[in-house]
Amino acid sequence: MKGIQYVSDESGKKTAVLISLEEYEAVWEDVYDILVSESRKNESTIPWKRIRTEIGKKGNGKKPVHS
């Protein structure tokens, strides 16, 4: 495949892959987003309602947006 290279160990077993970012940048961005999301899935979260309220308190002159 164009833009894909496999890295093999001494026995010929494929152990890694090199992907051309020029050829597959959009795909890599998706993979990266998934990896970041997975790595953060156990982090604590902030409720959306609290964020909206705090944004409204920043003095930007606008009321919080309610959905």
- What is the CB neighbour count within 10 angstroms for residue 13? 8
Task: Kindly state the tokens that stand for 44.
Answer: 């604590």
pTM, full prediction: 0.48
- Give domain limits for the chain: 4-56
- The CA distance from 55 to 64, in Å, is 7
Element (H, E) at 16: strand 14-19
- The CA distance from 35 to 28, in Å, is 10
pLDDT digits (tens, 9 = 90+) for 1-44: 899 999 999 999 999 999 999 999 989 899 999 999 999 999 99
